[in-house]
Structure 1
Amino acid sequence: MDTQQDMAEAGTIRSNSAELGQGAELGQGEGLALAEFHDACGRIRAAIETVIDGKSEAARLALTVLLAQGHLLLEDVPGVGKTMLAKTLAKTIDCSVHRIQFTPDLLPSDVTGVSIYNQDKHRFEFRPGPVFANIVIGDEINRASAKTQSALLECMEEHQVTVDGTSYSLDTPFMVIATQNPIEMEGTYPLPEAQRDRFMARISMGYPDLRAEMEMLETHQSVSPLVAVRPVVTVDEVRRMVATVRDVYVSPAVKEYTVNIGRATRDHPHLRLGASPRAMLQLLRAAKATAALNGRDFVLPDDVASVAEAVLAHRLILDRKAVTAGEDASSVVASVVAKVPVGGESRRVSP
């Protein structure tokens, strides 16, 4: 382990043998070289920014979640481009994409699929639902009932769907991009904690700035720029990009720093529910994707801190004292990251 750490500090690509084994099990093969990886990421981000004006950070976080094999929750008021971002990211990849419009009358079988009796063959046949795709866009997920929302739980965690006692595997890569309006708006059903915990990150789009909004009025009048978006990477390239992220090295000190952030949320006086162990795994994966996007084959504590709010805030439950004091989940995460020591390393010291 000491030798491995020294080599990482010299800037050499290394990864844990367990992670290499996990990548092989998923059939992702060899990763891309960092130069190829960076070029592919640049093409994806450039394609997204032709449609989404002034939201480069949101585009970067969406790409981070894709490369970290997570699921993305886009939450904000109507009309700020949540669905447009999801559709644009999906169109940049030459893969299968299905969209589900969640409504109060949507049934679980409308999501996962259903077994139908074939009279000619005298047997039941499974008809796959829209969840059988590389990228699944769930529009306004909190418009559906909790029963229908729960149809996504198994596929998001285990990459499989079980119908009538039979399990069906989903293809890789597999990503759910869900949009939702804030829960205080009429006609919505808040996502249960178990489902929020399955989303790697939550992004709030926010309103565009003046320049971006003026440019949108100029370019979006006659035809949507989404029409001109074409795939810039293949599914195989995405699998290799994911393998590249898996090969990013994480030192024991950075792992300890990540765990300490999670444990600090569980002991925080303003929280009734802190970060789960699953949240720690996803925080580290997002940090590895961030490091790769920054052109490094090793993770710094800064990579963990930079994605902590997006990965952790939507999983936390505030107590009454925090609400009374005007705190929210994002401010609590920021205070935790500011207080947790990095250990013997400086956050910004390069290897």
Structure 2
Amino acid sequence: MHPLVSLRNASLSVCRARSTAPLFCTRARIVTPWTTERDNATLHSRPQNRNALHQLQAQRWAHSGASSTRDVTHATALVYSSYGKPAEVLKVLRHTLEPPTEDSVQVQFLASPINPADINQVEGVYPLKPAMTTQLYGLNKQGSEQDQPPVAVGGNEGVAKVIKVGANAKAYYDVGDLVVMGSAGLGTWRSHGNFLANELTKVRTAEAQRVQTSKIDNVQLATITVNPCTAYRMLRDFKTLSPGDFIIQNGANSGVGEAVIQMAKALGVHTINIIRSRPGHELVAERLKALGATHILLDEQLGRLETKEQVKSWTGSKGQIKLGFNC
């Protein structure tokens, strides 16, 4: 968990021209508010309200979600050629999209979140650094790659729909399958891309997508490879928890915090959840309760004698909180 960025309470939305379908559709609470007015424009930052919807808007997206069966010849990506502050180094790049190779699939991204690690990667302080390439620029008249600085596409998580399948990849994927990234550093802040079959993981078949039986939406699918996995390891790796046990966590309304609440509920484990005291905290508490939170505390209540007695009354004869998570 990160004290500043919550995937469930943040928002970086990229809208295609004449379409409201989001590409980057998570809701981030405190993420640098980038805005761009046209393709290839350098992103700039401007002050925003803490809870405002931060949007990245590009004027000419190559493809709309309503026309995913058409051939896609161009794509748009959020790229950087040097490390630094995201608002200063990220730019929108429109590029040619080649057909997938025999071992690859072509996908259309539906949702791509912003994790703290993604920001750190752009800043150059994250251990994993994606390879930078000039391939996105395509070829010039002489048949060589354009004379442009190598770039990397931002983002590590995302959910995408398969729109083309190479000959050798047809044993694993069908058009319409939903996939997530199988490893980090592949670049998910883009409209479309080609990936090797073994770089992706199928999370929903085309048939299941057609009948729409799942209650898990695209935003949730886009974030399943980081936050839920982290929550699971936190609940499993340190203590053996039994039904009726109590755990406590701060940052309870972060992506990881919400996953902890839901998994603990399924395990029969009670949660005491600390959230910040600020405007709208009643709605936050309501949402966490709906997810399965047992008890809610405001950060301003900590350290008070009455709070200590309140927690004792909750834990009852158990008397002990078995595990605590500090974001």
TM over 0.5: no
> Which structure would you say has the larger Rg?
2
- TM-score, length basis structure 2: 0.25
- TM-score, length basis structure 1: 0.24
Q: Say which structure, 1 or 2, has more relative contact order (CA 8 Å, 6+ apart).
A: 1
More strand per residue: 2
More helix per residue: 1
